[in-house]
């Protein structure tokens, strides 16, 4: 399944939903920072996420309790693949090079990256 990129508002709702695991619109709204959007705005965003296949719900009469259909890690992986594909010709070395040109890594950071890479290969 291809995961579509979320808008900023959709991502804000999803970050809350991933943290809560399941929630009603009022629960999501309660977690949002001030100034809070209108209830109908959050409800509309949730319905868009449902149409995109990212959330689903359990119905309790007229109330709907929403839950994510994808994990935060799955979304993050999809977005990183898209970023690398679009801006770095599917090249992880180009991505790393881009970041270290502006902000060189110190020896501790390089060691940490090497440990992560070795762990990924095993």
Bond preceding residue 35 cis, omega within 30 of 0: yes
pTM of the predicted structure, to 2 decimals: 0.79
pLDDT digits (tens, 9 = 90+) for 44-88: 999 999 999 999 999 999 999 999 999 999 999 999 898 889 998
pLDDT value at residue 121: 67
Spans of all domains in the chain = 8-68, 73-121
- Between 40-49, 83-92, 113-122, the lowest mean confidence (pLDDT) is in 113-122
The band of 31, judged by pLDDT with boundaries at 50, 70 and 90, is very high
What CATH architecture does domain 8-68 belong to?
Orthogonal Bundle (1.10)
């Amino acid at each position: 399944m291809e995961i579509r990129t979320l808008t900023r508002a959709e991502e804000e709702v999803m970050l809350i939903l991933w943290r809560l695991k399941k929630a009603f619109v009022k629960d999501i709204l309660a977690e949002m920072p001030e100034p809070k959007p209108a209830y109908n705005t959050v409800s509309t965003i949730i319905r868009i996420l449902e149409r995109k296949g990212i959330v689903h719900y359990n119905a309790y009469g007229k109330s709907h309790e929403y839950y994510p259909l994808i994990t935060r890690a799955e979304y993050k992986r999809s977005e990183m693949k898209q970023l690398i594909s679009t801006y770095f010709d599917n090249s992880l070395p180009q991505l790393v090079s881009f970041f270290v040109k502006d902000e060189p890594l110190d020896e501790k950071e390089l060691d940490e990256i090497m440990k992560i890479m070795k762990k990924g290969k095993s």
